Amino acid sequence: MNSPFRNLVLTFLILLSLSEKAEAQKKFKFGKIPIKDMEMTVYEPDPSAAAVVLLSTGHYRVRDYKFYKHERIKILKQSGTDYGNFTIRVPSKGNFRASCFNLENGEIVEYKLKKSEVYVEELTEDIILYKLFLPNVKVGSVVEIEYSHFSLPFEWLFQRRIPVKYNELLVEKSQYFIFDLSFFGSVPLKRLSGYHWIAQDVPAFKPEPLIDHHSNYISKIEFELSQISIPGVFYREYSTTWEKVSRTLTDNIYFGGLFRTGGLYLNEKAKEILATDSGDMSKVLSAIAYIKENIEWNGSESPYMTQMYRTNFKKDHSGNVAEVNLHLVSLLKKMEMEAYPVVLSTRDNGRLKKFKPSINKLNYIVCAVKVGEDMMLIDAAEKNLKPGVLHPKCLNGDGWVVNEKSGWWIPLEPNEVTMEKGFTQIDVSNEGIVTAKIKKSMNTYDYLRWKDNFDEFEDESKYTRWLQDRFDDIVIEDFKLTFDEDKMVASEVYDLDISSVSENLGDEYIINPFILSLDLENPFKAEERNAPVDLNYKSGMIHNILINVPDGYTISSIPEPISIATEGENAIFNFQAFASKSTVSINYQMVIKNPVIPASQYSIFKTFYSLMIDKLNESISLSKVL
């Protein structure tokens, strides 16, 4: 809510709370840690656990409209010491206390959190980020935190990636604050009464391979404030419909303010681009270049700009994703182009639900602009993206286009399939040396994955050495790399000695021609699966292989052709091999048209993958002519 209204509501609630009795005696007291918890070295129900949540209690109290949380965690292994650091996102500034407790010479010693160990960032007026770094955390420590803040939290977790021994949540109903609840996960909850739940001995969530994010499957409750109604004082609707979400966003100065009066410093650049550029795409590219020259993304994700957005653009040249992309939207609008902000939820934040309007669920923003007859999505915050391509983290269902008082849904996932293409030529010399020349080309999302990996190395030579290690016994005799960041394409050309993966039996050669697939393995090993397989985007590969048969040899065996598909042909694999007198030609293609495979189809998809990998492990045989 905007600052004057928020202050009015908070003042009303504070006055209301002064007339109430003190907080009732709590079930668990901060700092009163049983000695058995301090002495614990292994959590018996899960000996592999790096840490365990001993207790986590939450209470939303209507007497003062504040939420109180108390949490205690036991550190069991070195890998669990990170649980001594807390990142907390809350809807208003709160009060905190936290301590680390260690058992020293038979005594429990408390190390209190200092103010210098707390980092606070006001992302927006209604989203505050706290980062707490507790002192002296080590194996054997118990860390404890208590905090409170006005309003409900954004979510409550009943399950974590470590076990939870005791978890309790009590939400008292309010006549002034109307909110919605959404339940996720499968952990059984004991409901005591009303909005009062307990979960005990909750096992750690074990992520399965190829899911969008573990936070989308753990057991939790998400809260969404839909209305504040204080008779004679304040009334506002927030997210009862997606259209009201649009109104709330555009009314907020840190979202819609840039389109009203906040972006006057963009006027001159808009006039310059209009005067010098012709054609929609040319204007868009000039606008993106100007925005990137003036503000670089600092890694912070939020649908709202900060209070410093003007300074961040004009002086500091660094800001959050909203400051980058809302400036782009504003500039395009000033250039008389049809442009809109698109709010969304990234993959690690869960999907937006069309039937469940939510402001809290929004954590990212991109730009939509009309180019010709089509709406193009642009993210000027990410460095390696061209217009029309979003980062894989944003490929998460649909985004909501904010059009002042209304809006509409727009698909975030591309229609086209990202295809990796490869060509391999294999030659066998009379001296028994087997060589291969391979060209592999990548575009769009395959390019992004490649570029992220390539950027980890300081130069091409170090990348080449990494490739050599990856190829193991195969010798890279020559390597050439080309890539175009603007077009998001890359190609690699290898000259390889593959004698080590070929068998020379004197009168017979056994050759594995699938060099690019040597490290391919089936990631689906479990017999059953609870979560869908999420491959992020439509993808595929097309490879052609040509094997030149040396003089004095004939082709004795080649792989049989195969064509397989899953239900509805969401995944297809076609393989063919042809032999002539002097060559073997192999062509194979795999396409996954639906990147999200339901858990109900897991066994089918697992079998599909196994059959494909088995085929790509087959060899050809060349025999000497006697």
pLDDT in tens, 106-134: 999 999 998 888 888 776 667 788 899 99
pLDDT tens sequence across 291-303: 999 999 999 899 9
- CA distances from residue 218 to 55, 58, 155, 318, 322 in whole angstroms, order as listed: 17, 18, 12, 34, 28
DSSP state of 529: -
- CA distances from residue 237 to 179, 233, 242, 315 in whole angstroms, order as listed: 11, 14, 11, 37
Confidence check: pLDDT of 22 > 60:
no
What gap in Å lies between CA 83 and CA 98, rounded to an integer? 13
The answer to whether 157 and 204 are in contact (CB under 8 A) is no
Confidence check: pLDDT of 367 > 50:
yes
What gap in Å lies between CA 56 and CA 145, rounded to an integer? 10
Confidence check: pLDDT of 580 > 70:
yes
What gap in Å lies between CA 150 and CA 68, rounded to an integer? 9
Q: Which residue has the higher pLDDT, 79 or 12?
A: 79
For 615-619, the CB contacts below 8 A with 24+ separation are 615/559, 615/562, 615/573, 615/575, 615/588, 616/514, 616/517, 616/520, 616/588, 617/512, 617/514, 617/517, 618/512, 618/559, 619/510, 619/511, 619/512, 619/513
- List phi, psi (to 5°) of 398: -115, 155
What gap in Å lies between CA 119 and CA 410, rounded to an integer? 36
What average pLDDT does range 68-89 have in this prediction? 95
Confidence check: pLDDT of 495 > 50:
yes
Highest mean pLDDT among 220-229, 284-293, 495-504: 284-293
Confidence check: pLDDT of 380 > 60:
yes
- List phi, psi (to 5°) of 468: -60, -40
Confidence check: pLDDT of 97 > 50:
yes
Confidence check: pLDDT of 1 > 80:
no
pLDDT tens sequence across 526-546: 888 888 889 899 999 999 999
Query: pLDDT at position 578, please?
Result: 93
Nearest CA to 623 out of 531, 477, 475, 509 is that of 509
What gap in Å lies between CA 152 and CA 129, rounded to an integer? 15
Nearest CA to 383 out of 298, 462, 326 is that of 298
Band of residue 568 on the pLDDT scale cut at 50, 70, 90:
confident
DSSP state of 239: S
Which residue reads 């890539």 in tokens? Answer: 483
Give the strand pairing for 489-497 and 475-484: antiparallel
What average pLDDT does range 302-327 have in this prediction? 93
- CA distances from residue 135 to 84, 144, 558, 566 in whole angstroms, order as listed: 8, 12, 64, 53
Q: Please, what is the angle between helix 280-294 and helix 267-276, to 10°?
A: 140
Q: What is the mean pLDDT of the chain?
A: 88
Q: 2-16, 21-35, 488-502 — which is least confidently predicted? A: 2-16
Structure tokens that stand for 21 in this block: 């009795």
- In DSSP terms, 54 is beta-bridged to none
Give the strand pairing for 196-202 and 220-230: unpaired
The answer to whether 58 and 102 are in contact (CB under 8 A) is no
Nearest CA to 399 out of 413, 381, 382, 384 is that of 413
The answer to whether 362 and 345 are in contact (CB under 8 A) is yes
Structure tokens that stand for 121 in this block: 């960032």
Element (H, E) at 279: none
* Cα torsion 15, 19, 22, 24: sign: negative
Burial 195-216 (b: 16+ CB within 10 A, else e): eebebeebebbeebebbbbbbb
Q: How many CA atoms lie within 13 A of 10 on its CB side?
A: 16
Q: Which residue has the higher pLDDT, 519 or 100?
A: 100
Element (H, E) at 399: strand 398-403
Nearest CA to 156 out of 190, 193, 118, 183 is that of 183
Give the type of residue at 61: R
pTM attached to this predicted model: 0.81
pLDDT tens sequence across 413-456: 988 899 999 999 999 887 778 899 999 999 999 999 999 899 88
The answer to whether 78 and 140 are in contact (CB under 8 A) is no
Band of residue 77 on the pLDDT scale cut at 50, 70, 90:
very high
Query: pLDDT at position 242, please?
Result: 92
Give Cβ neighbours of residue 334 (< 8 Å, ≥ 6 apart). 263, 266, 267, 270
Query: pLDDT at position 8, please?
Result: 47
Element (H, E) at 501: none
The answer to whether 40 and 74 are in contact (CB under 8 A) is yes
Query: pLDDT at position 26, please?
Result: 62
DSSP state of 390: -
Highest mean pLDDT among 4-13, 265-274, 495-504: 265-274
Confidence check: pLDDT of 80 > 80:
yes
Confidence check: pLDDT of 394 > 80:
yes
What gap in Å lies between CA 538 and CA 266, rounded to an integer? 38
Band of residue 82 on the pLDDT scale cut at 50, 70, 90:
very high
The answer to whether 622 and 556 are in contact (CB under 8 A) is yes
The answer to whether 357 and 346 are in contact (CB under 8 A) is no
Burial 414-449 (b: 16+ CB within 10 A, else e): beeebbbbbbbbbebeeeeebbbbbebbbbbbbbbb
Query: pLDDT at position 89, please?
Result: 86
DSSP state of 264: G
Confidence check: pLDDT of 140 > 50:
yes
- In DSSP terms, 596 is beta-bridged to 534
Torsion of CA 542, 549, 518, 504, to 10 degrees: 170
Structure tokens that stand for 102 in this block: 């260690």
* Cα torsion 177, 178, 184, 186: sign: positive
The answer to whether 530 and 209 are in contact (CB under 8 A) is no
Query: DSSP readout, 560-619?
Result: PPEEEE-GGGSEEEEEEEEE-SSEEEEEEEEEES-SEE-GGGHHHHHHHHHHHHHHTT--
The CA radius of gyration of the chain, in Å to the nearest whole number, is: 30
Confidence check: pLDDT of 18 > 80:
no
DSSP state of 83: G
